[in-house]
Homo-oligomer: A and B are copies of this chain.
Amino acid sequence: MTGQPSPYTPHNHKRCIHDALHKARILCRDRGVRLTVLREKVLELVWQSHCPVGAYEILAELTQGESKPAQPPTVYRALDFLQEQGLVHRLSSINAYIGCSRPNTPHHSSFLICTQCRTTFEIEHPSIDQSLKACADDHGFTITDTSIELAGLCTNCRTNRRINKL
């Protein structure tokens, strides 16, 4: 199971969002932290996009239809909370945020970010963690946080590009 369902039908996308929110509510309740209306709304907006979203995009969507526009700190604070709880990840190489597909288990994720369609896969593989850990150990370095972001072409875009070239 990868973060996003492979065929992006509107239906399973909706279900995907719904599941993520449901998981988040349970997780926050269990931890005794407050998933407020605002925070949940931000989380929903993050999941609504099947690609990573920028903070200011969220801000714009949050403002949609409201009388007074929301301000940056509103979004950033919510994102900070969601990151602390492991519900979203920040992709520093593109300054964007994406819902975490496995919020329950603490983990170091890697991301495959398609430069063409921006679709991003959260991958997790023991061998990556192992080799990084081994490398860090060699240098006496203790890892506390990782940012592993691989840019390139996803299957679809590579195929399409090949077709376009023919």
Binding site for B on A (CB under 8 A): 2, 92-93, 110, 112, 114-115, 121, 123, 125, 127-128, 130-132, 134-136, 138-155, 158
Q: Which of B2, B141, B148 contacts A112 (CB 8 A)?
A: B141
Whether A150 lies near B154 (C-beta < 8 A) is no
A91 to chain B, nearest CB (A): 9
Return chain B residues, CB-CB under 8 Å to A150: 132, 136, 141, 143, 145-147
Return chain B residues, CB-CB under 8 Å to A140: 154-155, 158
Whether A142 lies near B146 (C-beta < 8 A) is no
A135 to chain B, nearest CB (A): 5
Measured in the bound complex, the distance between the Cα atoms of B73 and A6 in whole Å is 41
List of 7 A-B pairs having minimum Cβ-Cβ separation, nearest first: A140-B155, A127-B131, A145-B151, A143-B152, A92-B93, A144-B152, A93-B147
Measured in the bound complex, the distance between the Cα atoms of B134 and A143 in whole Å is 23
Whether A110 lies near B132 (C-beta < 8 A) is yes
For A134, give the chain B residue with the smallest CB separation.
Answer: B127
Q: Which of B144, B145, B147, B154 contacts A141 (CB 8 A)?
A: B154
Measured in the bound complex, the distance between the Cα atoms of B2 and A139 in whole Å is 10
